[in-house]
Amino acid sequence: MKQAKLDEISAKLHKMTPSLVNDALTVFQQDPYLVARYGKGLREVAQQGVSSLRDVLLGALQFDHPQLLGSELKWLERLLEARQINPQTLQTHLHHFRARLDQDLPPEDAKVLLIVFDQAVEILPLR
């Protein structure tokens, strides 16, 4: 992918980030354990999670290496498991994140991102 196109997609994702954080926060607030564990800091957890997911997705796209994102998601899944956080929360968050990419980005941008995203998410076991 040409750098100019990658920069354009990156700019669009960065512009979407505040609303993606709000979506993540809504998902995270449905998990009583997360609410109890992080309380008012849950927004910051959502911000960090969305920013990391966005940046690793962009890196996977840039290097045409979906496994980069897949490895990050597997690590995150193990981390959540160690902290006894419901893995379904991650699955729900990823589902919402994907849906937003699909509906909010121009079709040609969504297509290239979703190919990488879907290949990465396939690595995770569905629960």
Distance CA 123, CA 9 (A): 24
Distance CA 73, CA 120 (A): 8
Is 101 part of a structural domain of the chain? Answer: yes
Is 103 part of a structural domain of the chain? Answer: yes
Is 84 part of a structural domain of the chain? Answer: yes
Identify the pLDDT of residue 126. 54
Q: What angle do CA 44, 48, 51 make, to 5 degrees?
A: 135
Is 88 part of a structural domain of the chain? Answer: yes
| Tens of pLDDT, residue by residue, the chain (127 residues) | 799 999 999 999 999 999 999 999 999 999 999 999 999 999 999 999 999 999 999 999 999 999 999 999 999 888 888 888 888 999 999 999 999 999 999 999 999 999 999 999 987 765 4
Residue showing tokens 């995770």? 124
Identify the pLDDT of residue 125. 66
Q: Which domain holds residue 66?
A: 3-121
Identify the pLDDT of residue 123. 78
Is 126 part of a structural domain of the chain? Answer: no
- Total domains in the fold of the chain: 1
Measured in whole angstroms, the distance separating CA 18 from the mean position of its chain's CA atoms is: 13
Is 127 part of a structural domain of the chain? Answer: no
Is 115 part of a structural domain of the chain? Answer: yes
DSSP 126: P
Identify the pLDDT of residue 127. 46
Is 99 part of a structural domain of the chain? Answer: yes
